[in-house]
Structure 1
Amino acid sequence: MKKIGILGGSFDPIHLGHIQLALQAKEELNLDKVLFIPAKRQPFKLNRKVTSEEHRVRMLEFALQGIEGLEISYIELENDEISYTINTLRRIKDFYRNREIFFILGTDAFINIELWHEAAQLLQECSFAIGSRPGYKEEELKSCIDRIRQVYNTNIVLLNNKELLISSSDIKTKIGRGVSIKALVPDAVERYIDENGLYK
C-alpha cells in the first residue's frame, strides 16, 4: 500500500525544522510524498493575527521548490471553515483512496492531541509519525503513546529525527529585533520576508 504524509500548520513562516521533519518522515516511513497543508483558520489560533494566505503560500512555494516528494496541498484554503484536522484528513482520504495516511507532528502537539476536535475519530482513522528529540518530554510522550495505542489502537511511529530547535514565533521575534534568521529558514524565504517587510 502506498503511503502519504500530511504536515499541517500555519507555516507563518515555514522554516527548516518543518522541512527536516517532513524529509525524515518520508525517508523512515518510505512515504510516496509529504503534503504541506497551510491552514486557513487554525482552531487554536482563532484570536491570533496570522499573515495573509498569499504570503504564507508564496513562502511555502519558495521553500519546497526543487525538493522531490514535498508538495503543497491547498485543501484547507479552498473553504472558509475552521481547519479541523479530522475534516481535512477525510477529504485527503477521499482523494487518495487505498493509501495509508500518516499525520506528522511534533511532541507537544501529539501530547495534546486528545484535546483536538473529534480526537477519538482522528486517532482511529489515521496513523501518526511523531518527531521527538532525546530528553524532551520523553517519559510524558512515551506514556501518552502507550495509552493512545491501548485506547484507540492507533498506529504510531516515533521518528529518529534530530529535531531542530526552531519555532515560527521565535523567527518573528528575531526579525522584530533585527536579528538574522539565516540559519532558520531557506534562503529564498529569508529574501521574500525581507522584500515584503514581513514580521516587522
Structure 2
Amino acid sequence: MKKVGILGGTFDPPHMGHLIVANEVAEALMLDEVRLMPNHIPPHKKLNVKVTAENRLEMVMLAVESNPRLKPEPFEIGQEGTSYTYETIKALREREPDVEFYFIIGADMIEYLPKWHKVDELAQLIQFVGVKRPEYNEETEYPVLLVDIPQIDLSSSLIREKLKSGKSIKYLVPEKVEKYIEENTLYES
C-alpha cells in the first residue's frame, strides 16, 4: 500500500519551514510522497484577498519542484466553500483507495484538534502526524504520531510582514517562490 503524507495549510506563502516539515516527515516515516495541499477557504483564519487560491497553488508548485518526493495537491483549491479536512480526506480515500494517508500537522494544530470539524470521524480515516513547534504543547487525546524534526520558528505571517515593510525574504522561501512573489507584487502594502 502506498504511504502518502498530506501537509495542508494556507501556504500564504509557502516557506522553507513547510518544506523541511514535509521532507523530514517523509524520511522519518518512509512515506512514498508528501503532498502540500493549499486550502481553498480555511475554516480558522482569514486570507489576504489579493493573493488568490491559484496564486498559493502556483507557489506550492514552484516550492516543491526540486524534490521528487514532494508534490502539490490541488484538490481543495478546486472545491467550493470552506475546506474541511474530514470532507477532503473522505474524497481522497474514495479517489485513491489503495493509499494510506498521514495528515501532518504542527503543534499549533495539535492543540486546536478538539475544535476541528468531525475530528473523531477524521481520526478513523487517517493517521495524524504531529511535528513540534516552539512554544506549543503536543499533548492531545487524539492519536497523533509525533515526529521529531529540526525546529525552525518561521511562519507565513512573518514573511508577509517582512514583505510589507520592504525587507528581504531571501532564504526564507525557495528562490522561485520569491521571484513569483516579486513578479506578481503579491504582498506589497
Bin for the TM-score computed over the shorter chain? over 0.9
Task: Work out the CA distance in 1 between the residues paired with 2:187 and 2:109.
Answer: 24
Larger-gyration structure (1/2): 1
Q: How many equivalent residue pairs?
A: 187
Structure 1 residue ranges, 4+ long, deviating more than 4 angstroms after superposition = none
Question: What is aligned with 1:177?
Answer: 165
The aligned residue for residue 151 of structure 2 is: 163
Corresponding residue of 2:59 = 59
Counterpart of 1:15?
15
Unpaired runs of 5+ residues, structure 1, are: 149-153
Q: CA deviation at 1:197?
A: 1.1
Separation of aligned partners in 2, 1:55 and 1:119: 29
Q: Give deviations 1:142-185, integer Å, cap 9, x for gaps.
A: 3x2xx32xxxxx3x221120122110011000001111111210
Q: CA deviation at 1:99?
A: 2.5
Q: What is the alpha-carbon distance in structure 2 between the residues aligned to residue 49 and residue 58 of structure 1?
A: 16
1:104 aligns with 2:104: yes
Q: Give, as a single letter, the amino acid of the residue that structure 2 aligns with 1:13.
A: P
Letter in 2 for 1:141: E
Aligned pairs for 1:144-159 (under 5 A) are: 144=140, 147-148=141-142, 154=143, 156-159=144-147
RMSD: 1.5
Take 1:3 and 1:53, find their aligned partners in 2: how far apart are those partners? 27
- In the TM superposition, what whole-angstrom CA distance separates every residue of 1:88-110 from its partner, at most 9, and x where no partner exists? 11111112213221000100111
Deviation at 1:39, TM superposition (A): 0.7
Matches of 1:88 and 1:4, distance apart in 2:
14
Q: Corresponding residue for 1:151?
A: none
Amino acid at match of 2:153: L
Q: Is the helix fraction higher in 1 or 2?
A: 1
TM superposition shift of 1:191: 1.0
How far apart in 2 are the matches of 1:165 and 1:118? 29
1:186 paired residue among 162, 167, 174: 174
TM-score (norm 1): 0.88
Q: Does 1:120 align with 2:120?
A: yes
Measure the CA separation in 2 of the matches of 1:75 and 1:85: 11
Q: SS of 1:198's equivalent? A: coil
Q: Between the two proteins, what is the percent identity of the paired residues?
A: 35
Matched letter for residue 29 of structure 1: L
